Structures are given as structure tokens and as C-alpha cells.
Chains A and B, each alone.
Chain A
């Protein structure tokens, strides 16, 4: 199957009238008129079936066309263009300019946004501003990856496990569609083919620790491939390795964690959890299905209000778990009835610090202050070798478009800077134990786990 990419020559915008005067010399009314004409032409174009893989640049700005897969196209809605914000009042003009001048103005708009940010404090500058979804694809990117990148950037797929599984599944497709060029071997060349794919994914949303760990593992597997192996066999072998990785390190690991954490849950326990973690959800549902009488307090907070999703899944079904739902500031009033705090993790650093959804640190802190045990459910593949000392040095900001979608709150004047960090770091002192598939470990012993699992070098 030929891989359709943006590298194909783009079709010239048919809607653009020939010999049009320069934008600046036109009056406002003229511009508006021109824009109306362009819109009409575009609407007409949209009616026709689009040529596969070829992108109309004027349309590419508004609607990400995803490698000619109509299913995905309906699923990924066009995100509100960030240019709207940057240009404030003259939205119309801005959009028109970006529509007619190919890619140039898009860059200018991003620059304008970056400049706005730089008015703020310099200490926040390292967060970087969440990048708008870039539809300009550089290089040879597999459509599956382009699709995945869009899903990532719009938070359709979020959560460390989900993103890692989605990435590995996409890589399987990429590997199957790969052909080794002549005068090269798969074990040497495949990684150079994968790196731009990874770069593209990272440009959509910063890479999670889980993804990094999986990619590292994959690299080792690729370089260990026998040179003499038939190409299709090698690909199949790699796909099998990926499947095994997903099964062993994520799915089975979750089942073991479910059991380990379940052992700590007694009848009558009130379990408090924060936001949503897929593992915690499984633990709670499993405990409930074992007919343990538990009740759950779900604490939630902006920016993503993910707890509502957990609330839905716990209360749906024939026998709902008794749940209490509250926002983060209400936590201290609820803590005195809690027997255990159960939270998930995004990553675990070797000093025992837990990098998790923003707010987890406060929940653990308050629980520790009231002597409520805090259990963190975390698979060992989320362990990171590094050490992090606070949640400020490395973080990710949630893009405003995503936040608006999740919280339905009215717009604020743009003069206020909004910071929406997605993660924070829970110091190891607040954590009673980490529940992993190799048992319950105190956070101080985290550093020894990778070695115990057979990792030879630090």
C-alpha cells in the first residue's frame, strides 16, 4: 500500500482567484466579499469526494484530513484555530489571510502567541505554550501516526497506559508497512524510519514516560534482530514482541495490581481517589464485584475533571458502588471518614516520587497529615530512572481548547494569563506504599526494582 503523505505535491487552491490584488491594498468590504466567495467555493469543493491523501492547503488549515480514512475524519473535529485568539478583533481578516497565503501566516500567529506569553514571568517560560495542532506534516509520516497525533493533541486518548498502548499498536502498523530499502538492513534502518514518527507524536503532545520506556525497549529489540532473518518474519517477530510487551507489562500487570491492592481493601472501607486512573478503576470494580462493601469518594478538579468519567463507570451497571463526588477544595472536610487513598500514577521516579495528575500531591499531603494510608497503583514499566525534585521543573500545560471542551466555562478576558499544569510531583514522604505487579513496595525501595527485574545497567 503506498503511503499517502503530505510530501505529495499539494493541489493548488482552486478557490483562489487569479491575479488578485494584494491583501493590504483592499478595503475591508472588498476583503469580506473575497472571503465570501472563497467560502462558497470551498463549500462546493467539500461536497465533492476528496482525492485520497491530497490536501487542499486552504482546507488543511481548518480541517485535518486524515490519510483518506473517512471514519477518522468524522471523529476528529477541527480544533478552533489558535489564530483567532492571537488576532483578537480582526478574526475575519486573519482567517482569510491564513487561508490564502498557504502556511506562512500560521507561523506568524504562533509567534504572536509566544510573544504574549513572554510578557508573563520568565520562570514559567520553560513550560512552553501548548502547541496548536500542526497539520503541516514534515517528512515521511505514516497516516496511522498522523491520526494518533491528532487524537493525542485533542486529549481523545489520554492517560499513560492508553497512550502507550495506542502508540505501540500504531507502531505495529508502521512496522508492517515498512520495507527495508536496498543496501540496508532492518535492524539498522527501521529505527531511522521510526524516529520521525516519534518526533511527530511528540510534537502533538510531549512524550509520556511510559512511551519513552516502551520506545527504548523497542529500540533494543530492533537492534537485536537477526540480520539474516527474512524481512516479513522479522516484522512479525517485532509485532509479537510489542504484543507481549503490552500484555506482560500493562494488561497482566494491571491484573496483578488489582489483586494486590484488592488484598488491602476490607469490608466497610471508604476509599478516596483522585481524578481517574484506569488501574484504580479496575481495582475498585474488582473489589466491588467480590462483594466487598466499599464506598468511594471521588475527588476531582480542573483542568480536566476526569473524575466524572470514573464516577460514571463506577455508578453504571446493575449494582452501582456508593459514591461521593466533590471538588478538590472539599477534600479536608471529607478526609476524616476515609480509610484509604488510592491513586494512579503517570510515572514513578527512582527517588520514590510520584509524577501524576495535578492535585494528587495535595490529596496525598492532606491524607498524610491525617494519617490516612496512601497507596499508589503503578505498573513497573512506568518507572523512570531519573530523579525529580519538584513538579515545577518538568510539566506540561493543558491547551486552552481542551480545557474549554472539558469544563464548559465561559471565556475569560485574554489579559489574564492562564496556567494549567497537567501534572505534579508527590514527594515520597506522602506515600505509604506503591502497589506494583511485583508487590507492595515502600517508595524508598523503588530504585532497586528495575535491577531486581533484571535490568543490568542503571
Chain B
């Protein structure tokens, strides 16, 4: 973990007889995205509200860069708070103000900027989030997805160092959910803020997070990188993930990452008398950040979905695939050696050449490419090794230039 920006030290909070947080200690590294997961009602939002200063703890401390907020003077606390932004679950836009005024509000109230400077800053943020055209509308006149984007624009307009997201994708359709995740990840890389997300969207949030913290029974039950939690043998973690992880990815219709790992395990543990090679192919959709910036995050996620549908059309009855990152798809081809896998990729590349995966209306003139890394596996091979091999097989990469 990078240098910690925010630290929670033995945070305790009770509501009546219910101890929601019971000595939570957790640190959030600078410039990283940490996702807090856990069952409903376990206290994830309460934890986030402690960081935002909306709730005071019964005991324990919230430290910003090593300073206890409760011990700071009013001015210092105000300065510190200006560095933290909060994106609410329901967007919490001021419904009597226009979208433009909502985004401008933190600038107008907190910074002594000229009207021109405020107008320029707000227009820039609205433009970056593809909502320039709705500046003069009111929150009740726009869709849920747009409200989320406005909330994000309002949070980012002051260039905060830390952004807190409380279930940012609740109530959105699958493509929009994925677009919001892609947007958070994209903006985090662009602006470099520290992101703390409370979410139920597993495994999607694993694709964009550097760390996962699981809250259980008032304490942090698990903390680590996404890969670690997915492979965790802890029964509480397993039960939670098993209960919440969907069998199919909502966008691509593909199997979940956990299922494809299990399938790999079955293939790799076939009996000696039934030996069989099999392959995995890791497809990576390149230039997606560029696509998102030029044509919007919805367009990039539509491309991922359309590519997955095309891939499915070319696969055999026993083949399977899974989404393995925001822009990555992992295919498992049983009984298929590397040579046949390469042929499949060639055929796919040939037939997809010139195929308009991106609809013209959504992203005119966008050019992107898909790369494929192939790894052959046999009995006894580990999933991790095969995946690393696929990632490093630059010699067998196919680049499909698809417009």
C-alpha cells in the first residue's frame, strides 16, 4: 500500500444496543481505490460517513495524513474537509438548483473565484463527463445515470484528494453500472485521487480496486488485493462471495471469474488415463480509455459487450469465457491445443475485420484494437501460472484493428 492518506483507528459506533462498528482499524493508501464490501446493514455506509465527518465515532479516531480530525481547529478541519468529496448513493443533488448550479455550488460557497473562473471549471467538468447539454435542467428532469454523473462532476469540481463513493451504481442497468465503474477507474487514473467505494457489485469492483476490505460483525474481516479475496479459503469470505457473486456477467452473459477458475481446476485435475491439453486465451480490448474519453464510458462498455457476443458466436459448445477485468475477457477452450486456439483467434480476427462493434451513433470514428494472449495448459498446471503465461505471450498476440 502507498502512503496512507486516511486511517481509521479502533473506530467504534453503537446505535442503541446495536454495535455497528466494533473497533475498525483500516488505512487507505494515497492514489489507490479501496472497496469496502460486506452484507447489507453491516455498517459500510456508516463507516464511510465517519470518514466524511457526517457521523462522530463513540470511540476511536479518524486520521487524515496522521492528524486526528476531532482534535483539529475549525479552520484546519474545514481545509481538510475541502480535500474530501462524497458521492451519495442517491446522488443527493439539490433539487431546487439546476445541474450547472449544483456542480458550481462547492466553488461558489467555498472558493473566492470569479464568475468566469467558476463557469469555466464547471463547463470543463460537465464536458469531461458528457453532460454539457443538461446544464440548465433540474435534477428531476434527468435520468438516474445522468444524476450519478452530475454527482461525480460535483465531487470532482474542487479537485479533491479523496473521493468517497457510497454504492455508486445502485439502480443502474448493467451497461451503465459498468460504465460508472469504468468512469471511476478512468478518472482516478487521470486525477489521481484516493477512492473509497462502498459497493455490492462483485466481481465488477474487483476490476477497478487495488484493495478490498470486508466488513463483518463490526470489524474488518478481510483486507487485501482482489486476487487474494477471490482465492480466499476463509469460510466467511467464501460464503459472502458465493452468495453475492452472480453466475453470469450481466453485460457479456459470460460465466463469473470464480466459475472459470473452478472449470480450469476441473480440467487440470483430470485423471491420468484421460489426459488432455486445453488452452486459455486472454483478450484485452486496448485503447478503451481513449474510447471512453472521446465517445463516453457507455460506448466503451457497449464495445466490450458486443465483442463478447461476437466471441460467443465463434466458440464451441464446451468452450467458456468470463469477464476478467474492465476490458479483459478470458476464454477457456477444453481439448484445444495452442495451435487450434491460434486458428480460432485468426478466424475471429478475419471475421471481425471491419465489423462495427461500436455503433456509429455512439462513437463515431473511434478506433480500437483487441489483443489475444494464448497459454496451453495440462494436468496439474495452476491457474495463476497459465494466466501469467497468457499475459506474457507477446509472440502470439493477435491484434484485431476493429473500427
Q: Do A and B bind each other?
A: no
Query: Which of B's residues lie within 8 Å of A, judged by CB?
Result: none
Q: Which residues of A are interface residues toward B (Cβ below 8 A)?
A: none
